[in-house]
């Protein structure tokens, strides 16, 4: 009887110890699980492909720098939930007030937070690729390869690749495949060029690609949005009259020196199909990725008969417009005198 009672007491003590240990462990886990991120701002975490468990621990600790060791708590909870590095591959935003348990579950489940991809004011496909890939895991080289593959299948010539994109803001997952990103951007351009816009371009004797090319010249020619429809009409007038465009921005593009401040006579002789001083019509393709506003200026140009323009002598960024060459020469002479006064 005494042995039985002693055995029963031992079991009770063992059970009590186990229950106490479980309770302590529960309290410990709860203390981690319900700790809140005490940052004032959102923090984005990137877990690249091939990251190891140790890599993830370091990234969480370095990015989630809270006074309560929040990053370490997220990591421990992630491990307790049998989190897998491959599943964690992605980009996540941890918001102020989020609990460590919420953050760990987000990463364990691979529930990524989308990134915004925005591009504007880009000249070349390389510029476009670098801008797009700022916020996705793919490299510019991978994005360019995807664009080349997709656009070749559509029969687009390389010189018109930049006409296949319209600046905008898009959302992707950071891990999106480069072909997925490229296809979405190309599809967005196709959606933009609806029947109404195509008809407007056709009425001017332009294809969508030619309209984008002309818009790219107009945008390089003037930074003044309210002047772009007027500049667009001037170039349309010249095209319709069979005149050379003689657009300085195309010469700058032809030289490859985008930092040129002034186009000199030597530059005008640059041997390139983009040099509209020596080649008639539009250049082979855009000299930048034209914006929606630039394209709209071409599709809805101002009404006038001007065929000449020259920068204003007040350096306001606007232009003097002329109907005759003599009038244009007078405008140009005033501008040159103004340049000489400031030593240019």
**pLDDT number for residue 33:** 67
| pLDDT at residue number 13 | 45
pLDDT classification of 301: cutoffs 50, 70, 90: very high
163/67 same-domain check: no
Is the CB of residue 110 less than 8 Å from the CB of residue 80?
no
Provide the 10 A C-beta neighbour count for residue 195.
Answer: 7
Last residue of a domain, one of 175, 192, 209: 192
> What is the chain's mean pLDDT, rounded?
90
Q: Specify if 291 maps to a domain.
A: yes
Residue 44 lies in a domain: yes
Structure tokens at 28: 């410990």
DSSP secondary structure code for residue 134 in this structure: T
What per-residue confidence (pLDDT) applies to 37? 85
The answer to whether residue 331 sits within a structural domain is: no
Domain count of the chain?
3
CB burial of residue 3 (10 Å; 0-12, 13-18, 19+): exposed
Closest to 147 (Cα-Cα) out of 182, 193, 109, 174: 182
Q: Are residues 200 and 268 in the same domain?
A: yes
Asked if 297 and 207 sit in the same domain, the reply is yes
Give 3's pLDDT tier (boundaries 50, 70, 90): low
Tell me: do 246 and 290 sit in the same domain.
yes
Lowest mean pLDDT among 36-40, 85-89, 163-167, 278-282: 36-40
pLDDT of residue 332: 92
Domain contains 325: no
Work out the pLDDT band at 171, boundaries 50, 70, 90. Answer: very high
Joined tokens for residue 183: 């296809």
Q: In Å, how far are 9, 15, 16, 124, 145 from 3, measured between CA atoms?
A: 10, 18, 20, 89, 80
Q: Are residues 199 and 294 in the same domain?
A: yes
User: Would you state the pLDDT for residue 258?
Assistant: 86
Percent of the chain's residues with pLDDT above 70: 89
pLDDT of residue 67: 59
- Same domain assignment for residues 37 and 121: no
Beta partners for 109? none
Q: What is the pLDDT of residue 32?
A: 58
Strand extents, DSSP E, the chain: 43-47, 90-94, 115-118, 169-172, 308-311, 319-322
The whole-number pLDDT of residue 21 equals: 41
Tokens of 177: 């495949």
What is the predicted pLDDT for the residue at 6? 54
Domain residues for the domain of 164 are: 115-192
pLDDT band of residue 261 (cuts 50, 70, 90) is confident
Average pLDDT over residues 271-287: 96
Determine, yes or no, domain membership for 71: yes
Pair of tokens at residue 226: 């309210």
Instruction: Tell me, yes or no, whether 202 and 300 share the same domain.
Output: yes
Domain end (from 109, 125, 148):
109
Whether residue 247 lies inside any domain: the answer is yes
C-alpha 309/C-alpha 323 separation (Å) is 9
Give yes or no: residues 263 and 250 share one domain.
yes
Residue 188 sits in the same domain as residue 199: no
45 with 134, same domain: the answer is: no
**Position with higher pLDDT, 13 vs 236:** 236
**pLDDT over 80 (residue 23):** no
Is a pLDDT exceeding 70 seen at residue 18?
A: no
Residues 158 and 174 in one domain: yes
- DSSP three-state, residue 306: coil
Same domain, 186 and 214: no
Q: Domain boundary residue among 109, 129, 151?
A: 109
Evaluate whether residue 250 is within a structural domain: yes
Token digits for 314?
């007040």
Whether pLDDT at 170 is above 80: yes
Token pair 């491990």 in the structure block, residue: 79
pLDDT band for position 7 (cuts 50, 70, 90): low
- pLDDT band of residue 139 (cuts 50, 70, 90) is very high
Model pLDDT for residues 240-255, shown as the tens digit of each residue: 999 999 999 999 999 9
What is the pLDDT averaged over residues 94-107?
A: 94
Does 11 reside within a domain?
A: no
Q: For 225-241, what is each residue's pLDDT tens digit?
A: 999 999 999 999 999 99
Residue 52 pLDDT more than 70? yes
CATH code (residue 74):
3.30.1490
Please check the confidence at residue 28 and state whether its pLDDT lies above 70: no
């Amino acid at each position: 009887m005494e042995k039985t009672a002693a055995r029963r007491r031992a079991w009770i003590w063992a059970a009590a110890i186990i229950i106490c240990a479980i309770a302590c462990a529960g309290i410990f886990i709860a203390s981690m699980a319900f700790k809140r991120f005490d940052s004032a701002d959102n923090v984005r975490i990137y877990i690249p492909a091939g990251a190891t468990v140790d890599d993830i621990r370091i990234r969480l600790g370095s990015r989630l720098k809270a006074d309560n060791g929040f990053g370490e708590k997220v990591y421990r909870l992630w491990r307790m939930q049998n989190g897998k590095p491959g599943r964690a591959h992605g980009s996540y935003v941890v918001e102020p007030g989020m609990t460590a348990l919420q953050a760990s579950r987000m990463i364990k489940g691979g529930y990524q937070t989308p990134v915004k991809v925005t591009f504007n004011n880009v000249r070349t496909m390389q510029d476009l690729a670098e801008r797009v890939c700022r916020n996705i895991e793919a490299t510019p080289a991978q994005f360019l390869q995807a664009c080349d593959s997709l656009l070749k299948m559509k029969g687009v010539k390389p010189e018109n690749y930049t006409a296949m994109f319209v600046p905008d803001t898009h959302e992707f997952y950071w891990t999106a495949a480069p072909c997925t990103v490229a296809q979405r951007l190309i599809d967005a351009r196709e959606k933009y060029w609806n029947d109404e816009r195509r008809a407007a371009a056709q009425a001017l004797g332009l294809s969508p690609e030619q309209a984008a090319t002309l818009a790219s010249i107009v945008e390089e020619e003037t930074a003044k949005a309210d002047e772009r429809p007027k500049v667009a009409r001037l170039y349309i007038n010249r095209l319709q009259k069979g005149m050379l465009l003689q657009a300085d921005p195309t010469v700058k593009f032809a030289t490859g020196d985008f930092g040129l401040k002034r186009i000199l006579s030597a530059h005008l002789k640059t041997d390139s199909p983009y040099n509209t001083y020596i080649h008639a019509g539009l250049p082979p393709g855009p000299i930048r990725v034209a914006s929606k506003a630039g394209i709209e200026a071409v599709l809805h140009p101002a009404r006038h008969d001007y065929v000449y323009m020259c920068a204003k002598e007040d350096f306001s960024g606007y232009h003097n417009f002329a109907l005759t060459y003599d009038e244009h020469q007078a405008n140009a002479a005033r501008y040159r005198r103004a340049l000489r006064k400031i030593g240019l």
